[in-house]
Structure 1
Amino acid sequence: MQVISRNPENFTEEYNVILRRLFPANEQCIDSNIPFSSSWVIVEKNKFTDPHRHDLHEVFFITEGEGILNIDGEEKIVTSGDVIYIYPNKEHTIKNKKDNKLIFLTIYWNK
């Protein structure tokens, strides 16, 4: 078993937000053969992730807050408890327009 804390001291700025890489792209990970990668992401008030696309499958698990998700120009409000699947090569970004932090876990993998 391995547990990696969501301690904010371990987050860095990437994609215009604050994130913490987890498995396997983390110096604490004990198994580099895990077939997916994951990160905690914190989007502060009035911030958004840099729009980007990649050839990976990706799922967002919204754990706190509310945001506006844009995938290839289609926008949808997402909130705590929502789970979003993003197909490979779709440009996506998520913005936080609320006073509270928007926090989500992302898991991404190759097919």
Structure 2
Amino acid sequence: MSIRWWDWLPFQPWRQVDVVEAADEVPETMPARGVVLVGRADAPKWAVFDCPCGRQHRIMLNLDDSRKPFWRVAVAERWHYTIVPSVDAQTRGRRCHYHVRNGRTAWAADSDR
């Protein structure tokens, strides 16, 4: 994976890094706010990314609307991502609750960030 110019910015927008066919093909390390889609590019089943809290835990969101709960990933202008609804991950006794809108992370007040 090559380093792009936006990897050097203090604010890095959420963006798609890759599309893979199976979850075991997701890279071990990913850039900050990089999203890997699992499945076909036109109909992905999962969105995988590292949580922006910095505690090194991985988030897998179901994008298949036939299974509940599910999320929607939309690409806004300049390839910035929006994830709906909010991401609420509770791991190891901590809570990471945030919204991803137009490439930016907005932390909810109830997060343990």
* TM-score between both structures, scaled by the size of structure 1: 0.28
Whose helix fraction is larger, Structure 1's or Structure 2's? 2
* TM-score between both structures, scaled by the size of structure 2: 0.28
